[in-house]
Amino acid sequence: MLLNEVLNQLPNINKCLEKGKILIIRIDINSPIINGKIIDDYRIRAHSYTLRLASDAGARAVVLAHQGRPGQDDFTSLEVHKPYIEKYLERPIKFVDDIIGPEARRQIKELKDGEILLLENVRMLSEEVIEKVPEAQAETMLVKKLAPLADYYVFDGFAVAHRSQPSVVGFPMVMPSCMGPVFEKELRALSVVFEKRGKGVVLLAGGAKIPDTIKAVEQLLKNGFVEKVAFGGLVGFVFAVARYGVLNTALKQEVEKGGYLPYVERARQLLSKYGEKIEVPVDFAINQNGRIDVDVFSLAQQPLDIGKSTTMQYKEVIDQAEVAIFSGPMGYIEDERFATGTVELLRAAAKKKLILGGGHTILAAEKAGVIDKAFHVSTGGRAFISTIGGEEMPAVKALLTSAAKFRL
């Protein structure tokens, strides 16, 4: 089904905004966190608009969101996010250290018109990190405990739209549902890229999510949605190793220590099939008492940025493009010395129709001063390119099912 048809069939948030009604709103405020501190709050800013719409309409908003995954350094309580939401809403909200327990349910029942209640990190429920079909997720405790307390469900978390989890696909099965404004905006931007069918579209793919990136890029190339892919970040490192076979003893130890060896073979297969469409770094920046650039054949440690020659090479690719999708930084942008490649390419891409995706990409774009020049800022970088590549969005399927069943 074409995205324009999907947009025509899905009710938007206006269908669910009624004074006194209780809305369960699934947003995505998962943010980059270092040492327990949020270092970029773009997603929170974006979703504050959604929450303001609900509050201003006199609806009673129950907010579901997550931060990180169990076992990861950024897996924290959403209490950290509360002051940021209040800052952008310019009004207080409630927070409860509970999700489906008696205290959470009591506070939901006692909400007054216009009030907002943020529940605890939904991934603290083990069932939320397990993916199943929507019908099974409708039987989870999360849905069974909360759905009877609410009138409508609003899905606005584009970055988790590709996850078949209870908070994403369970609620639409049992209650009238709408798409939120952030999600709607994402779908409209996707439709623009789909219309291009790859002509003049370049993807700059960086970051550290190697398997997800390889999977998404494979689908993008297979379906012809991009003309060129230029790799950076850790995934660029893996592709450089795959193309040039530069596994000297020291570098092989780095690859094995990082657990990247299985991905080198996958990258090699992708290069064999689509090599003319893939750009791989020819040099990298490393830290040796400061930043120095080395070519791939001299590399003996895990790099921290793409080098100057690679940056020039990628700028030439961008110059030939009409649309530049930037998903994931080219280097370790938290350190100014190794943000150079990312910043320079973002500034070059900003002269085109630039689509930004992912928390760290947005942070880099703000550093580069191009955030306001972007055609679209996606709240879910990997979700964005996965969807372009043809990956199904379970959230869309669930919302379509709900629309047909409840007909708002």
Q: Would you list which residues are annotated within the binding site for (2R)-3-phosphoglycerate?
A: 43, 123, 163
Contacts of residue 271, Cβ cutoff 8 Å, sequence gap at least 6: 239, 242, 243, 278, 280
Please state the residue numbers annotated as binding site for substrate: 28-30, 43, 66-69, 123, 163
Instruction: Please check whether residue 132 is in contact with residue 175, taking contact to mean a CB–CB distance below 8 angstroms.
Output: no
Annotated binding site: 28-30, 43, 66-69, 123, 163, 334, 358-361
114 — alpha (psi -120 to 50), left (phi > 0) or beta?
left
Q: Could you tell me if 137 and 170 are in contact, meaning their C-beta atoms sit under 8 angstroms apart?
A: yes
Q: To 10 degrees, the CA torsion angle through 153, 157, 163, 168? A: -10
Q: What CA–CA distance (Å, rounded) separates 104 from 94?
A: 11
| DSSP character at residue 333 | T
| 259 vs 59: CA distance, rounded Å | 48
Count of CA atoms in the C-beta half-sphere (13 A) of 259: 4
- Parallel, antiparallel, or unpaired for β 353-357 and 376-378? parallel
Give the C-alpha separation, 260 to 177, whole Å: 41
* Closest C-alpha among 93, 145, 101, 134 to residue 117: 93
380, burial (CB in 10 Å: exposed 0-12, middle 13-18, buried 19+): buried
Q: Give CA separation, 257 vs 42, 53, 254, 261, 305, in Å.
A: 33, 48, 5, 9, 19
| Residues flagged as binding site for ATP | 334, 358-361
Q: Cβ–Cβ contacts within 10 Å for residue 12, how many? A: 16
